[in-house]
Amino acid sequence: QSTSIVNNDGRATTLNTRTLEHIHSIDPTLAQRILRVSRTYTDVHYYVDGALVRTGVAFRSDSQFAFATQCPQAIVQGIFIDYLASRGVHVERQIRLVDFEDSFESDGVSAMVENLSTGKMSAVEVAYLVGADGPKSVTRMKLGIPLKGFGTPNLWFMMDVSIIHTNLPTIEYRNHVENKHGVMFTLVSSDNLYRFCLRTNAEEDDFGPEEVMARIKLVLRPFELEFDKVYWFTRYDGTWTVASVSAFCFSRHR
């Protein structure tokens, strides 16, 4: 529904092993285009009270893509759109699904959509209707499919930042860091941006960026960290939705 691709600040950054397999099955060159602009990791470094206690495997898989892949959502979307354009497919923006006929008594789906730039409503006949629009999916809610998930009684704070200095030796890789002040994960989000994910107890007060940065410095002790600029900041309650439930496709082709 947006007017353009989301910017590089924040959003999703991780491509899972099976996602890359699926992209590779569509076109191997498409997967390679993504990998050329991505950062990949095979290990996660675990620190407790400032000591590196072990190095674990990021993913255990029989896949040829048995590694963690970091690529900002904006870059992935741009690659997809260019790939579709090369095959004559145009991505139309600022179109919102309002309603659709859910009887499925004939081939295709009748849907009502709104052009957000003009406010005009129109009926369209489509061969497929794909609901991949997150927890507020019109498609899912219309069909009465519940949103399932799992989580922990914790708050998570996530931020993408640039840093001036740190002496954490594995800052360019994935890290799990913990001490009496809390638990956090670190990784490289994109060029010159680092993602920090801080876990707190649900009972604690809500934090803003300054409070989160102060807590991150405490968790990272005895390593030093000097922040430069916050580019993106968000919080979530530790509940992860099951993607296969919130994204699905319907076809009435016989």
Averaged pLDDT, 181-209: 84
**What pLDDT does 56 receive?**
86
- Count the Cβ atoms, other than its own, within 10 Å of residue 192: 11
φ, ψ of residue 190 to 5 degrees: the values are: -160, -175
Checking if the pLDDT of 131 tops 60, the result is yes
Which residue ranges make up each domain of the chain?
Answer: 95-144, 149-241
Distances (CA, A) of 42 to 48, 60, 90, 154, 179: 20, 9, 36, 27, 24
Residue 183 binned pLDDT confidence (cut-offs 50, 70, 90):
very high
Tell me the per-residue pLDDT of 39-92, one tens digit each, with 9 for 90 and over: 888 889 999 999 999 998 876 778 888 888 888 888 899 999 999 999 999 988
Q: Helices marked H in 27-137 — which ranges?
A: 28-36, 73-85
CA atoms within 13 A on the CB side of 178: 8
Residue 237 binned pLDDT confidence (cut-offs 50, 70, 90):
low
| CATH of span 149-241 | 3.30.9.10
Q: Please state whether beta strands 182-190 and 174-179 pair in parallel, antiparallel, or not at all (unpaired).
A: antiparallel
Averaged pLDDT, 248-253: 38
Counting runs of H as helices and runs of E as strands, what totals does the chain give?
6, 17
**What pLDDT does 161 receive?**
94
Per the structure block, which two tokens stand in for 73? 């959502």
pTM of the model: 0.77
**What pLDDT does 202 receive?**
56
Averaged pLDDT, 15-44: 92
**What pLDDT does 149 receive?**
62
